C-alpha cells in the first residue's frame, strides 16, 4: 500500500484541485457520507482528485492539517487550502463548492 502522506503530497502538487475527507471508520456521520463521496467521485473525477484519510490511523496528518473532528473536508487548489468545513454534506453542496473553486 502506498504511503498516504506521499500520495497526498503528490496530489497537492498537481494542477487540479484535491478534496480531502478526514474520516473515522467508527463515525456514523462518516459512514453515511461514504456513498455520497463515491457518487461525487464518479461525477467530478475529471476535475478534482478526492482522497479519503482515516484519521485515527494517521494522527500525524490530523495534526498537520489541524483536524479535530469527523468528517472534516479540505479543498486544496495549487497546493493551498481554499475551503474547509466539517460534518455531513449533501451531494449538491459538495458539487457546488467544487464548482466554485474549479
Q: Which of 30, 33, 94, 98 is flagged as catalytic?
A: 30
Dihedral of the CA atoms 62, 67, 72, 75 (nearest 10)? -80
Q: Which of 4, 24, 27, 51 is flagged as catalytic?
A: 27
* Counted domains in the chain: 1
Annotation marks residue 30 as catalytic: yes
Cα 14 to Cα 9, 45, 49, 78, 82: the distances in Å are 9, 14, 9, 7, 15
Per-residue pLDDT tens digits for 37-88: 999 999 999 999 999 999 999 999 999 999 999 999 999 999 999 999 999 9
CATH number of the structural domain spanning residue 39:
3.40.30.10
Q: Which residues contact 52 (CB under 8 A, 6 or more apart)?
A: 20, 21, 23, 37
pTM for the whole thing?
A: 0.92
What range defines the domain where residue 18 resides?
Answer: 4-101
Amino acid at each position: 500500500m502506498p504511503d498516504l502522506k506521499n500520495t497526498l503530497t503528490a496530489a497537492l502538487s498537481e494542477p487540479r484541485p484535491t478534496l480531502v475527507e478526514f474520516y473515522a471508520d467508527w463515525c456514523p456521520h462518516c459512514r453515511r457520507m461514504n456513498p455520497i463521496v463515491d457518487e461525487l467521485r464518479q461525477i467530478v473525477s475529471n476535475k478534482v482528485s478526492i482522497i479519503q484519510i482515516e484519521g485515527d490511523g494517521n494522527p500525524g496528518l490530523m495534526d498537520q492539517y489541524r483536524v479535530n473532528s469527523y468528517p472534516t473536508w479540505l479543498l486544496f487548489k495549487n497546493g493551498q487550502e481554499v475551503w474547509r468545513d466539517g460534518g455531513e454534506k449533501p451531494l449538491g453542496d459538495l458539487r457546488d463548492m467544487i464548482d466554485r473553486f474549479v
